[in-house]
């Protein structure tokens, strides 16, 4: 059968090369240059064995060559064994016995994870509502206006802001309207908009040192430090942040708290303190930034509403879907006092550069159809069962270990005897058990006189698959120290 270089294939058995970038060297004629470029692309591994090349007519047009030049180059490379050509299958890179040698220092493509992953902050990825999300995406795309496929509105799609205003009012007691919501890509993005960049969104009267809880995410503290923000730690106890120190810091006019579920220690902000921090913000002409990172997941008590409902003009409410759906979606929201909306939009820029408009439309449809509520209720039951299994395992194997923060969220805190945390984490590493210690969350600026250090483990119970969860709990119990 006659071989036809560049013939169109009948079925995609190998990767195609419909578009092919080649830099023709300045050697010999055009045919010699094309052959040299193809040999180098194959020799370097950029064109892998089995990769189909574009038809010679298309390649000639792309490179500005005569068709005969491209056809002759293909034919000679077939004769040399670099390419293969068959009628109906096109021209492809030949399979070679000798593989292309790897680069001298290849980077690993996947970082090895722990055998048992009990790190906090990770929802159950296997429970993402794929079918419901796909159905919502189809409905959203069908109904989307043409302008949805143009440059994005930095405030976010109106459809999402409208359903968010209703949802947050119904579920979290937030008082707002769509015009006071700005969509972002998550909590960290919100912090960057408020504090970082050439035009931070907070007005001058709200800048200066920022009060934060003595235990929190180091990543957030690092982000603030990079923006030049000095953080002032507030001690925490079982009732959340202790606010007495705010009265003695006249330079502090803004505070960042996790009122519904202090992260990571787990207690809600006491009702008296909720009112007090709003009164403090009013008196200082300042702001409270409310991080509602897992407000949907409550197990043993009634949900605690958002502090924002007490004074929408003094509280910036921040939320996302990173715990309820997936951090991969990169969708969050800021519910702003009216006077901050334009400042945040100015900081964000004229076009949406982060949150996909199509994902926004899909989330809006998922919420509006009730699919989001159904998913959250299902996950609330699932995480409560996981929590109960953890508590039962500890009661049976390590009853001397205190457990806190279990009334809500996706993690629990296991209290350890002073001075034992480091040794327990080393034992966990030897067992392949992914765990976080409380020390990693402690603000370096809080001294023992203000708040004694706490030894403990932050145990996330959402991540392991069902079949691996009992083994993860057994490994956890095995590394816990015996009674003192």
Supply the pLDDT for residue 101. 59
Domain CATH for 401: 3.90.1150.10
Q: Given 338, 371, 404, which residue is the final one in a domain?
A: 371
DSSP summary character for residue 202? S
* Residue that has been written with the tokens 């055009």 in this structure: 30
DSSP summary character for residue 285? T
CA-based angle 357:359:360, to the nearest 5? 60
Q: Tell me whether residue 18 is exposed, middle or buried, using C-beta atoms within 10 angstroms of its C-beta: 0 to 12, 13 to 18, 19 or more.
A: exposed
Whether 196 and 260 map to the same domain: the answer is: yes
Supply the pLDDT for residue 280. 95
Q: Which residues lie closer than 8 Å to 68 by C-beta, 6 or more apart? A: none
Q: How many CB atoms lie within 10 A of CB 20?
A: 19
Q: Which residues lie closer than 8 Å to 113 by C-beta, 6 or more apart? A: 434
Whether 215 and 342 map to the same domain: the answer is: yes
Whether 98 and 142 map to the same domain: the answer is: no
452 in a structural domain: yes
Whether 308 and 216 map to the same domain: the answer is: yes
Say how far residue 314 (Cα) sits from the centre of its chain: 28
Q: What confidence tens digit (pLDDT) does each residue in 329-349 have?
A: 999 999 999 999 999 999 888
Whether 181 and 289 map to the same domain: the answer is: yes
Q: Which two tokens stand for residue 131?
A: 């079918």
DSSP summary character for residue 390? H
Whether 244 and 383 map to the same domain: the answer is: no
Whether 306 and 186 map to the same domain: the answer is: yes
Whether 219 and 312 map to the same domain: the answer is: yes
134 in a structural domain: yes
For residue 225, say if its preceding peptide bond is cis, omega within 30 degrees of 0: no
Q: Which two tokens stand for residue 342?
A: 């334009």
Q: Which two tokens stand for residue 104?
A: 């001298």
260 in a structural domain: yes
414 in a structural domain: yes
Supply the pLDDT for residue 11. 41
**CA-to-CA distance for 153 and 409, rounded, in angstroms?**
32
433-434/116-117 β-pairing: parallel
Q: Tell me whether residue 147 is exposed, middle or buried, using C-beta atoms within 10 angstroms of its C-beta: 0 to 12, 13 to 18, 19 or more.
A: exposed
232 in a structural domain: yes
Whether 165 and 298 map to the same domain: the answer is: yes
Domain CATH for 73: 1.10.10.10
120 in a structural domain: no
294 with 410: CB under 8 angstroms?
yes
DSSP summary character for residue 302? P
Domain CATH for 299: 3.40.640.10
Residue 457 β-bridge partners: 414, 437
Question: Reduced to 3 DSSP states, what percent helix, strand and coil does the chain have, rounded to the nearest 5?
Answer: 40, 15, 45
Supply the pLDDT for residue 98. 55
> Which residues of the chain have a pLDDT value below 50?
1-13, 97
Whether 61 and 174 map to the same domain: the answer is: no
| Residue 458 three-state SS | strand
Report how many domains make up the chain: 3
Supply the pLDDT for residue 6. 42
Supply the pLDDT for residue 308. 96
Q: What are phi and psi of 234, to 5 degrees?
A: -105, 130
Whether 167 and 101 map to the same domain: the answer is: no
434 with 119: CB under 8 angstroms?
yes
Q: Given 371, 393, 408, which residue is the final one in a domain?
A: 371
77 with 38: CB under 8 angstroms?
yes
186 in a structural domain: yes
231 with 225: CB under 8 angstroms?
yes
Q: Given 371, 395, 413, which residue is the final one in a domain?
A: 371
Range of the domain at 139: 128-371
Whether 83 and 102 map to the same domain: the answer is: yes
């Amino acid at each position: 059968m006659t071989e036809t270089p560049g013939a169109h294939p009948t079925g995609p058995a190998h990767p195609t090369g419909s578009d092919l970038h080649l830099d023709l060297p300045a050697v010999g004629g055009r045919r010699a240059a094309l052959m040299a470029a193809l040999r180098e692309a194959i020799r370097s591994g950029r064109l892998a064995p089995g990769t189909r090349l574009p038809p010679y007519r298309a390649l000639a047009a792309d490179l500005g060559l005569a068709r005969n030049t491209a056809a002759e180059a293909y034919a000679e490379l077939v004769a040399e064994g670099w390419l293969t050509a068959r009628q109906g299958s096109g021209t492809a890179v030949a399979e070679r016995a000798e593989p292309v040698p790897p680069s001298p220092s290849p980077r690993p493509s996947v970082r090895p994870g722990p055998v048992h992953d009990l790190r906090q902050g990770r929802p159950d990825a296997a429970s993402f509502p794929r079918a419901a999300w796909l159905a919502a995406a189809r409905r959203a795309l069908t109904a989307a206006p043409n302008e949805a496929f143009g440059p994005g509105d930095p405030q976010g799609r109106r459809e999402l802001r409208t359903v968010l205003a209703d949802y947050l009012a119904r579920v979290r007691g937030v008082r707002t309207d769509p015009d006071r919501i700005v969509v972002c890509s998550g909590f960290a993005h919100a912090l960057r908009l408020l504090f970082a960049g050439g035009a931070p969104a907070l007005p001058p009267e709200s800048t200066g040192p920022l009060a934060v809880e003595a235990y929190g995410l180091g990543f957030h503290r690092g982000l603030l430090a990079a923006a030049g923000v000095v953080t002032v730690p507030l001690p925490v106890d079982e009732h959340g942040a202790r606010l007495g120190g705010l009265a003695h810091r006249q330079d502090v006019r803004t505070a960042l708290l996790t009122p519904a579920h202090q992260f990571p220690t787990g207690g809600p902000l006491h009702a008296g303190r909720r009112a007090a921090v709003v009164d403090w913000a009013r008196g200082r002409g300042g702001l409270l930034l409310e991080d509602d990172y897992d407000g949907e997941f409550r197990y043993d008590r009634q949900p605690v509403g958002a502090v924002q409902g007490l004074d929408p003009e003094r509280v910036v409410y921040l939320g996302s879907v990173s715990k309820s759906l997936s951090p991969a979606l990169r969708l969050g929201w800021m519910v702003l006092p009216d006077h901050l909306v334009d400042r945040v939009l100015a900081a964000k820029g004229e076009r949406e550069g982060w949150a996909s408009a199509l994902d926004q439309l899909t989330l809006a449809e998922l919420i509006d159809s009730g699919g989001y509520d159904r998913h959250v209720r299902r996950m609330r039951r699932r995480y409560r069962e996981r929590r109960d299994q953890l508590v039962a395992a500890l009661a049976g194997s390590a009853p001397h270990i205190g457990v806190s923060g279990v009334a809500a969220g996706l993690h629990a805190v296991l209290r350890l005897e002073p001075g034992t945390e480091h040794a327990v984490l080393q034992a966990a590493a030897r067992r392949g058990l992914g765990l976080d210690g409380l020390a990693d969350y402690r603000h370096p600026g809080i001294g023992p006189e203000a708040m004694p250090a706490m030894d403990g483990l932050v145990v996330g119970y959402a991540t392991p698959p069902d079949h691996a969860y009992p083994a993860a709990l057994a490994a956890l119990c095995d590394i816990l120290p015996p009674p003192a």
